Amino acid sequence: MLLVYAFQHWLYFGLGILALGIELWALVDCLGRKGEHFQAAFKRTKGFWTGMTAGSVAVGALSLLSTGLGTLMLFQLAAVAAASVYLADVKPALNELKGSGGSAYGPYGPW
């Protein structure tokens, strides 16, 4: 039975590291964007998304450092969900704005 608990602990620790990596990726990407691009893409402000992703990194780091699973696991799921929403919804919208500079190039080269 001790082996099962050890396996469960290391599995949750590995998933926590993966979640923290996703949260850090979202935060670093958000900090590298300009504030005007968020409003031009009809998304919330840069401050909102920076706060959401920074909060998710904080929750991810706290839950990774804590030993008990308890309610922190629920907060960790919410934190990785917030970072995933940024990566799946906001980041592609901002990438479309970055690529549409009014040039004569299409998605596969010049027209």
Of 5-9, 63-67, 107-111, the poorest mean pLDDT is in 107-111
The DSSP annotation for 54-67 comes to HHHHHHHHHHHH-S
- What pLDDT, in 10s, does the model give residues 44-100? 999 999 999 999 999 999 988 876 656 678 899 999 999 999 999 999 999 988 765
Of the listed ranges 36-40, 69-73, 106-110, the one predicted with least confidence = 106-110
What is the spatial distance between Cα 26 and Cα 38, in angstroms, rounded to a whole number? 14
User: What's the whole-number mean pLDDT along residues 14-25?
Assistant: 94
The pLDDT, as a whole number, for residue 110 is 58
d(CA 35, CA 72): 32
| Global confidence as pTM | 0.81
pLDDT at 19: 94
CA–CA separation, 78 and 56 (whole Å): 8
Banded model confidence at residue 8, pLDDT cuts 50, 70, 90 = confident
Task: Select the more confidently predicted residue: 72 or 33.
Answer: 33
Strand partners, 106: 109
Query: How far apart, in whole angstroms, are the C-alpha atoms of residue 44 and residue 39?
Result: 7
Cα–Cα dist 34/30, whole Å: 9
Q: What is the DSSP letter of 77?
A: H
